[in-house]
Amino acid sequence: MRELNKLPSGITLVDGFYRFDFRFNGKRRRLRTIYTEKDKLTMVEKLYHSLICALEEGRFEPSFFIERIPNIESLGKIRDKYNMSDLLENQLWRYRERHDLTPPSITNLEIVTTIHLIPYFKNINIKTITVYDIEEFIKQIQLSRDRIKLILRPLRHVFKNALRENIIKEDPFEKLETNILSQYSINTEYEVKPFNQDEIQLILESCSHPTIRNLISTGFYTGMRIGELFALTWEDIDFENEQICVNKSVSVNGVIKQPKTKAGIRNIEMTALAKDALMAQLKITGGAEDKRVFKTPKGKNYLRTDGFGRYWREALIKSGVEYRNPYQMRHTFISYMLMRGNSPLILYRMVGHETPEIIYKFYARFISAVKGKKLLV
């Protein structure tokens, strides 16, 4: 048994369990942990200092500590225990308590969780997250395949644990396409497969509703991301000067917000075909109170970036065109703009990339202008 006088300040051992003894909000607090004298004291010390720091810095969240300090609720009200931020933090604690992970491995998991996962998913309730949300997250990472796999590891474990604990009914990772990492990681041979003009025409002719046709047409002829199209308002459209101002996007949880980077805020020159599509759409939603340009055929706003998927699939199936995901609309625009002789050093800004490296990485074969070929715009 450890001698009590050798325990760090604020930590005591009562009835075989470690207890924290400190003052908070002017009162003395005694909180029993789940750790016993058989557990490593260094782990208990780390938990204690984490708790004290959180209290002192004003970022205390009871749900972060609930699994290790059962009566932590006495310090404050617990928010939604199913929010992703807390679930990811709890997953980090699970990693720290494992004996089969090396310190560098744990550090890497802490880094990717803090930098990528928590800022993206924040306080979204895990029960509302779908496979399409996971796909959208993967698309925007733009890192190597191995790095994306590491980033997804804590996320996979959070959903796996939630399924086991009956918090969710199904794990969205089980529905992910098997080749999704090959499609969206930077260091892969992911093939950009732009649609040709005949295919585009067939797709547009196969759309089930004029507003879907106008949305797809605008996507093909502006290179805008799906979330950017959904958030577009008529105030962003300048027909006189033929400019489209991109300044917001529909996020994973349906919230309209500014792009994640300054490069995402930009003006796009309106091509003739994009202008035709937007003029046609003006007759449909020009009088909308919220001024949103694109709505569903039922007149509702697209609340999530996956809300368009079924209309896209229906159009491609009906057209008989080889299926590619909707992001290929953006690839098509970039490819054809390069084939027209537009410089990558100018184009990368137009499509909202921070640097031209991605243009050179994925579209190198389209950079040389192809003379005599029927072009998109």
Return per-residue pLDDT of the chain as tens, 377 residues: 455 557 888 899 888 899 999 887 667 888 999 999 888 898 999 999 988 887 776 567 777 888 899 888 777 654 556 789 889 988 998 898 888 888 778 888 888 888 889 988 887 888 889 888 898 888 877 777 777 888 999 999 999 999 998 888 899 999 888 777 777 665 433 568 899 999 999 999 999 999 999 999 999 999 998 889 999 999 999 999 999 999 998 865 567 778 767 888 899 999 999 999 999 999 999 988 889 999 999 888 886 655 687 889 889 889 999 888 788 999 999 998 888 888 888 888 888 888 887 787 778 778 754 443 444 44
Compute φ and ψ for 298, nearest 5 degrees: -90, 5
Q: Which residues contact 43 (CB under 8 A, 6 or more apart)?
A: 35, 96, 97
CA distance readout (Å), 220 to 60, 183, 200, 301, 322: 47, 19, 8, 20, 16
Q: Domains of the chain, with CATH numbers?
A: 4-79 (no CATH), 89-184 (1.10.150.130), 197-366 (1.10.443.10)
What sign does the CA torsion over 58, 62, 64, 70 have? positive
